[in-house]
């Protein structure tokens, strides 16, 4: 039997193209772009598995499936060569026997074509499939360029937002609509700081587009910083953003063996607060740098708590506006008697006044800790049950450290 030659006629759309291939191969066809977004699919109804259905329904390949395809080495292989490969059953994700091929332009992969192998393919089919992939290149390329152009526009708008160049909420919403992006109801700015200038732009872009937890209308890369706008129709919570950051940094670590630090600023509804949220995210990273130990699990600006004040307070402290006699006395005592009252107080407060936990951290007996605390109140002339004084001492203590850096 001779295969139908799809290249003889003109095609208006990729949909039509997919349909023709499907008819030629007698099996369902799906075309994706490089980020596993659905580009086109055939309407071949028989023999369609769960994986394909969910891909089509959500107009992208579900993350679970992408992960699985990475783990089983399918995607890596597709990214290495343009040869069609046979993908075995992965019943856990509802994916059955299929053939996949990547679409190339020079050294870049533009997308993928998937065919469910309903009837066993021979050499003929494989050859045809390769030709199909080559023929798809141009179509996809146009799509790619259009997208690329759009992304450049996005970049420009995003930077305007980050630097506060568009002030009114309405104007910002307008920009979103012009770029055909839905206006976010709730958003937060997320920043990932890499140790070096980011070179893995392609892969990161790929990662972001395949992690489908959030709607990310904008993202950009600035030197060693990856900046995202994360949006959601439902209220964003600190917790979800934290897990997003953890999972992203984990993934980066896994893929590139690079340690990155992530943070997010305020969660807002007002679009004009994007700049503020961005600055807050940067502020978190700065604080994390100064207090690596205390802020290890902190990612959100909210979580910074009193550290939010520190720049301001430090400034005043350096003007001599806030001295702390208690602190001075404790410091003098520590120095004279080779004790560690200050550290004791710090750790104790860090542990939220939990004796056991603090004692463990300090490697001392609980009673020793209690004794020291009593001593601190005597030496420092501080009422240990007065919250205000304790907070002040704690803040001043941290400020000293903060100021040193």
337 binds, among DNA, a copy of itself, none (CB under 5 to 8 A by kind): DNA
Nearest partner of 172 among 221, 229, 223, 222, judged by Cα: 229
Output the smallest distance, CB 116 to a copy of itself, in A: 45
Q: DSSP letters along 223-281, please? A: TTEEEEEEEESSPP-HHHHHHHHHHHHHHHHHHH----EEEE---BS-GGGHHHHHHHH
Residue span binding DNA (CB under 7 A) among the ranges 154-162, 190-198, 286-294, 360-368: 360-368
Nearest to 101 by CA among 147, 140, 144: 140
Q: Which of 163, 270, 316, 368 binds a copy of itself (CB under 8 A)?
A: 316
Q: Smallest distance from the beta carbon of 337 to DNA, in angstroms? A: 4
Output the CA torsion 368→374→377→378 (10° steps): -110
Nearer residue to DNA within complex by CB, 133 or 358? 358
Q: Which one of 54, 213, 389, 400 is in contact with a copy of itself (CB under 8 A)?
A: 389
Q: How many angstroms separate the CA atoms of 339 and 27, rounded? A: 78
Under 8 Å between Cβ of 99 and 129: yes
- The partner in contact with residue 123, picked from DNA, a copy of itself, none with C-beta cut-offs of 5 to 8 angstroms by kind, is none
Q: How far is the CB of 353 from DNA (least distance, A)?
A: 8
Binding mask 121-140 for a copy of itself (x = CB under 8 A): --------------------
Look at the block and give the residue holding tokens 């943070």.
263
- Which residues are CB-contacts of 250 (< 8 A; sequence separation ≥ 6)? none
* Binds a copy of itself (CB under 8 A): choice among 168, 325, 332, 366: 325
Instruction: Choose the binding region for a copy of itself from 3-11, 165-173, 202-210, 381-389 (rule: CB under 8 A).
Output: 381-389
Work out whether the CA dihedral 82, 85, 89, 90 comes out positive or negative: negative
237 counts as binding a copy of itself under rule CB under 8 A:
yes
Tokens linked to 224: 């060693």
Segment near DNA (CB under 7 A); pick from 32-40, 131-139, 201-209, 362-370? 362-370
| CA diameter of the chain | 98
CA angle 77, 52, 114 (to 5 degrees): 40
Stretch that binds DNA, among 15-23, 241-249, 291-299, 351-359 (CB under 7 A): 351-359
Q: Is 368 in the site for DNA (CB under 7 A)?
A: yes
Contact between 375 and DNA (CB under 7 A)? yes
Q: What string of H, E and C letters represents the secondary structure of 42-69?
A: CCCCCCCCHHHHHHHHHCECCHHHHHHH
- Check binding of 390 to a copy of itself (CB under 8 A): yes
Q: Which two tokens stand for residue 120?
A: 């066993």
What length is written for the chain?
Answer: 405
Residue 314 or 355 with smaller CB distance to DNA: 355
Residues 317-346 close enough to bind DNA by CB under 7 A: 337, 339
Neighbouring residues of 325: CB distance < 8 A, sequence distance ≥ 6? 381
370 binds DNA (CB under 7 A): yes
Q: Out of 134, 138, 177, 367, which residue is the one contacting DNA (CB under 7 A)?
A: 367
Sole binder of a copy of itself in the list 353, 356, 367, 368 (CB under 8 A): 353
Q: Are 232 and 186 in contact (CB under 8 A)?
A: yes
238 part of the interface to a copy of itself, by CB under 8 A: yes
Provide φ and ψ at 364, rounded to 5°: -135, 165
Q: DSSP states of 142-211 as a string?
A: HHHHHHHHHHHHHHHHHHHHHTT----HHHHHHHHHHTT-PPPSEEEEEEEE-SS----HHHHHHHHHH-
Q: How many CA atoms lie within 13 A of 277 on its CB side?
A: 23
283 binds a copy of itself (CB under 8 A): no
* Residue 341 to residue 330: CA distance in whole angstroms: 7
Should residue 302 be labelled a site residue for a copy of itself when binding is judged by CB under 8 A? yes
CB of 398 to DNA, least distance (A): 22
Is residue 390 close enough to count as binding DNA by CB under 7 A?
A: no
Q: If contact means CB under 5 to 8 A according to the sort of partner, which of a copy of itself, DNA, none does residue 364 touch?
A: DNA
365 binds, among DNA, a copy of itself, none (CB under 5 to 8 A by kind): DNA
Residue 215 contact partner, candidates a copy of itself, DNA, none, CB within 5 to 8 A by sort of partner: none
Task: Using CB under 7 A, list all residues that contact DNA.
Answer: 337, 339, 354-357, 364-368, 370-372, 375
Residues that bind a copy of itself in the complex, under the rule CB under 8 A: 237-239, 266-267, 294, 298, 302-309, 312-313, 316, 321-326, 349-350, 352-353, 381-383, 385-395
């Amino acid at each position: 039997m001779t295969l139908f030659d799809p290249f003889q006629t003109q095609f208006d759309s990729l949909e039509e193209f997919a349909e023709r291939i499907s008819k030629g191969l007698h099996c369902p066809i799906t075309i994706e772009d490089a980020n596993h977004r659905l580009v086109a699919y055939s309407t071949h109804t028989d023999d369609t598995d769960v994986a394909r259905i969910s891909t089509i329904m959500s107009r992208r390949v579900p993350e679970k499936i992408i992960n699985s395809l990475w783990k089983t080495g399918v995607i890596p292989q597709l990214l290495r060569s343009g040869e069609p490969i046979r993908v075995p059953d992965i019943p856990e994700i509802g994916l059955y026997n299929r053939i996949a091929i990547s679409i190339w332009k020079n050294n870049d992969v533009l997308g993928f074509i998937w065919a469910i192998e309903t009837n066993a393919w021979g050499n003929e089919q494989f050859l045809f499939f390769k030709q199909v992939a080559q023929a798809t290149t141009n179509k996809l390329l146009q799509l790619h360029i259009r997208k690329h152009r759009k992304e450049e526009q996005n970049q420009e708008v995003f930077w305007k937002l980050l630097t506060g160049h568009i002030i009114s909420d309405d104007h910002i919403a307008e920009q979103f609509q012009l770029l055909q992006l839905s206006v976010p109801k709730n958003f937060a700015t997320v920043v990932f700081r890499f140790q070096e200038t980011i070179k893995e732009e392609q892969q990161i872009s790929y990662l972001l587009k395949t992690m489908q937890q959030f709607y990310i209308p904008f993202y950009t890369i600035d030197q060693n910083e990856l900046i995202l706008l994360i949006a959601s129709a439902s209220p964003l919570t600190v917790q979800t953003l934290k897990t997003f950051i953890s999972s992203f940094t984990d993934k980066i670590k896994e893929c590139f063996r690079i340690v990155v630090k992530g943070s997010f600023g305020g969660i807002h509804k007002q679009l004009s607060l994007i700049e503020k949220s961005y600055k807050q995210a940067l502020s978190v990273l700065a604080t994390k740098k100064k207090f690596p130990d205390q802020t290890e699990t902190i990612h959100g600006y909210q979580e910074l708590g009193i550290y939010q004040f520190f720049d301001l307070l430090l400034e005043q402290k350096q003007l001599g506006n806030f001295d702390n006699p208690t602190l001075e006395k404790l410091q003098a005592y520590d120095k004279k008697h080779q004790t560690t009252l200050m550290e004791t107080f710090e750790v104790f407060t860090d542990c939220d006044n939990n004796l056991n936990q603090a004692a463990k951290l300090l490697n001392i007996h609980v009673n020793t800790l209690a004794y020291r605390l009593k001593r601190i109140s005597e030496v420092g002339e501080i009422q240990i049950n007065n919250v205000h004084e304790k907070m002040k001492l704690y803040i001043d203590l941290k400020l000293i450290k903060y100021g040193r850096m």
